[in-house]
Amino acid sequence: MERRKFDVAIIGAGGAGMRAALQLSSGGYNVAVLSKVFPTRSHTVAAQGGITAALGNVTEDNWLWHMYDTVKGSDYLGDQDAIEYLCRMGPQAVYEMEHFGLPFSRLENGKIYQRPFGGQSRNFGGEQATRTCAAADRTGHAMLHTLYQRNIQAKTHFFVEYMAIDLVRDGEGRVLGVVAFDMEKGEPLLIEARATLLATGGAGRIFQASTNAFINTGDGLGMASRSGIPLEDMEFWQFHPTGVQGAGVLISEGVRGEGGYLVNGNGERFMERYAPHAKDLAGRDVVARAIALEIHEGRGCGEARDHVLLKLDHIGREKIMARLPGIREISINFAHVDPLEAPIPVVPTVHYMMGGIPAHYRGQVVVPARTGPEEAVQGLYAIGECACVSVHGANRLGGNSLLDLLVFGRAAADHIVEFLKENPASPPIPADGTDLARSRLARWERRQGSERVADIYRDMQRIMQAHCGVFRKAEVLEQGLVKLEEVRRRLDDAAISDHSKVYNTARIEALELENLMEVAFATIRSALARRESRGAHARDDYPERNDKSWLKHTLVHRDGTIDYKPVRLKPLTVPSFPPKTRSY
Ligand SMILES: Cc1cc2nc3c(=O)[nH]c(=O)nc-3n(C[C@H](O)[C@H](O)[C@H](O)COP(=O)(O)OP(=O)(O)OC[C@H]3O[C@@H](n4cnc5c(N)ncnc54)[C@H](O)[C@@H]3O)c2cc1C
C-alpha cells in the first residue's frame, strides 16, 4: 500500500477541519486534510442563518447570557464546562474570522450585523436577544471559502476526493493514522500521522427527509465505532421546524429571526399557544413538535393537510432581498413559491446530530476507562458535528454549530500542538494495523449478489423515518430495530457490478451505507433505552423529563451494550446553572 507521512491527518474539510488545519499549518506543522469532495463543497457551505456569539452589536449582550441560553436549550444535558468555553471564546472566534477576511453583513455603524435566533434571551431568560452574526443568508459559504483561502496560503496539503476508510491503531490503543481510498483510481493510501483528527460532519442521511448533503454519511462515527469507541447521546437528533415540504431543503431560522412566522390550516399563528413568550423563536425541538402536533390533529395546510406555512411577505421586499436572497431562491426553485408574494410550505425535517464521538472540550476523544471516569485515546481527536463535546446536549440552538466548529477547531489544534511536542516520534505501524480497512475494501470489490445497495439504503432511511421520528415510543422503536436488523443482513447479499466499478461509485455508496448503519443502530438503541422526554428526544410513553434517573449521557457500543456517564454540571470558572423546568 502506498504510504505518506504527516504530523497531523485531518479527516474532513468542513468548517471544523479547516479551522483546525489553519491553526496547525500556520504553526509550521505538516498537515494533511482529506475530503470526499472539493473542500468548499463540504456541508458547512450550506449554512445559511449565521454564527452565534455575544458581541452585543444590536442589543446589549453578555457571554454568560449566551451560556445560560445554551444550557437551557440543551435541556440541561450539555456539559457546562464545555458550554462555558464555547460561549466565552465566541466573540474572539468571530473576530478571528473577520480578520481572516470573512465578509460579514454590516450594520449602519459598520459593526458586524446580528439577527435574533431561537432560544436567545437577555439577562437569563428575559427579552429576546439579537446574537447571531450573519453574512446575508450564506454565512457558511462565506466562512468555508475564507478558511479554504487561508489554508492555501498556509500550505495545508489537501487530499481531494479521498475517502477515509478506517483508523489505524496499535496494540496499546494509540491511533497512528488512517487508511484512505482514492475515489477516482480506487487505490488505497496509508496516511501515517502522529495525531489524527476526525471532522467528518453529520449523518443526517440515515433519515429519508433531511436537510443534509448526500455526503453526510457519518463516516467518522463508523470509523470510531469499528475501532472500539462508543458513541454518545445518539438518540438526540434535531428536526428543523422548516424544511421545504417534499424537498427537504432547509429554510433558515433566520427567516423567523427577521420577522417571519408560522400559520396552520385555519390561518392561525399557532406558536402563540405553545410558547406564549418566544412564539416562533422558541427552541427548535419545541417548534418542530408544535408543527407535528398541528398536522397530526388535522390543522395542517393544503389538500392533504400535511404541512404548515411560513409567512414572510409582510417583512417587505427590501429586507428579503438584502437579508434573505438565497431563501427566496430556494423557495422559488424547490417550493415553486415566491415568498415576496405567498407563504412557503414547510415541515419538520432532520437537520443536526447532537450526539457523536465522545470528546473533551479540547478535542481529545475520551472513552470510559476500566478504572476511573474516562481516559483519552492517544493520538485521536474529534470536532464539529461528528463530535459530542457535549455543548448542544439534547437540543442545539441555531447558530451554535458554526461557533462550535471554530472554537473547538482551534482548541483541538492547540492541544494537538502540545501532544506533538510531548510525542516527537511516531510509533511504528503494526503488521496488522491496516487489516480492518483492507478487509472492508476487499469486501466491496466487484462481487455477485441479488440485492442493490441503493434499495437497502432507501429501506434503512424509511425505517428510521417511520420508527424514530419526532415522537417515539417503545413498541415502534422495537419494531424499527427488528426491521433494521433484517435490512443489515441484506447487505451480505449486495452486488457491486462490473459496470459501476468504473467510477467506484457503487463501492463508495456501500462503504458509506455501512457507516450509516452504525449510526442508525446506535440511534435507535439509544432512543429505546432512554425512558424520558428531553430536548429533541420525545417519548409518547414517557412524556416527562426525569432528572432523577436520566440526567446522564448515553454511550452505546457497537455490540449494543450501553453505558452512561454523568453530565458535567460544573462550569470552568463561573457558578453552575442548575436544571429547572424549560419553557419559552
Ligand atoms: C442546510 C444546513 C444549514 C445550516 N445552517 C446553519 C447555520 O446557519 N448556523 C449554524 O450554526 N449551523 C448550521 N447548520 C449546521 C452546520 O452547518 C453543520 O453542523 C456544520 O457545518 C458541520 O461542519 P463540520 O465541519 O463538522 O462538517 P461538514 O461541513 O459537513 O464537513 C465534513 C467534511 O468531512 C469530509 N468527510 C466526511 N467523511 C469523509 C471520509 N470518509 N473521508 C474523507 N473525508 C470525509 C467531507 O468531505 C467534508 O469535507 C446547517 C446545516 C445544514 C445542513
284 is catalytic: yes
pLDDT for 496 = 85
Distance of CA 86 to the CA centre of its chain: 16
Q: How far is the CA of 407 from the centre of ligand 1 (A)?
A: 15
Question: Which tens digit of pLDDT belongs to each residue from 300-315?
Answer: 999 999 999 999 999 9
pLDDT for 328 = 96
With bands split at pLDDT 50, 70 and 90, how would you rate the model's confidence at 335? very high
Q: What is the DSSP string of 113-180?
A: PEE--TT-BSTTT-SBP--EE-STT-HHHHHHHHHHHHHHHTT-EEEETEEEEEEEE-TT--EEEEEE
Whose C-alpha lies nearest to ligand 1, atom 2? 47
Q: Which atom of ligand 1 is nearest the CA belonging to 401? A: 11
Q: Which residues contact 254 (CB under 8 A, 6 or more apart)?
A: 48, 49, 50, 115, 117, 132, 134, 137, 323, 324, 327
Q: What is the side-by-side strand order in the sheet with 308-311?
A: 237-244, 344-353, 308-311, 261-263
**Virtual CA dihedral for 51, 386, 475, 72, nearest 10 degrees?**
-40
Q: Which residues contact 108 (CB under 8 A, 6 or more apart)?
A: none
pLDDT for 371 = 67
Residue among 468, 117, 544, 469 nearest 293 (CA): 469
Question: Which tens digit of pLDDT belongs to each residue from 118-150?
Answer: 999 999 999 999 999 999 999 999 999 999 999
Output the nine-digit C-alpha cell for 312.
414572510
Helices and strands: H and E segment counts in the chain:
16, 22
Q: How far is the CA of 203 from the centre of ligand 1 (A)?
A: 9
- 413, 20 contact by CB (below 8 A): yes
Q: Which atom of ligand 1 is nearest the CA belonging to 385? A: 26
Q: How far is the CA of 109 from the centre of ligand 1 (A)?
A: 32
One-letter amino acid identity for 130?
T
pLDDT for 368 = 84
One-letter amino acid identity for 410?
R
pLDDT for 34 = 98
With bands split at pLDDT 50, 70 and 90, how would you rate the model's confidence at 501? low
pLDDT for 256 = 96
Active-site hit among 226, 284, 323, 328 = 284
| pLDDT value at 500 more than 60 | no
Give CA–CA dist 543/531, Å, rounded: 9
Question: Which tens digit of pLDDT belongs to each residue from 278-300?
Answer: 999 999 999 999 999 999 999 99
Q: What percent of the chain has pLDDT over 90?
A: 94
| pLDDT value at 8 more than 60 | yes
- 238, 74 contact by CB (below 8 A): no
Give CA–CA dist 290/286, Å, rounded: 6
Tell me, yes or no, if the pTM score tops 0.95.
yes
pLDDT for 489 = 96
Q: Is the CB of 383 under 6 A from ligand 1?
A: no
| pLDDT value at 558 more than 70 | yes
pLDDT for 288 = 95
Question: Which tens digit of pLDDT belongs to each residue from 367-399?
Answer: 987 666 789 999 999 999 999 999 999 999 999
Q: How far is the CA of 140 from the centre of ligand 1 (A)?
A: 9
Q: What is the mean pLDDT of the chain?
A: 95
Mean pLDDT of 228-243: 97
With bands split at pLDDT 50, 70 and 90, how would you rate the model's confidence at 504? confident
| pLDDT value at 330 more than 70 | yes
Question: Which tens digit of pLDDT belongs to each residue from 92-119?
Answer: 999 999 999 999 999 999 999 999 999 9
Q: What percent of the chain has pLDDT over 70?
A: 98
| pLDDT value at 426 more than 90 | no
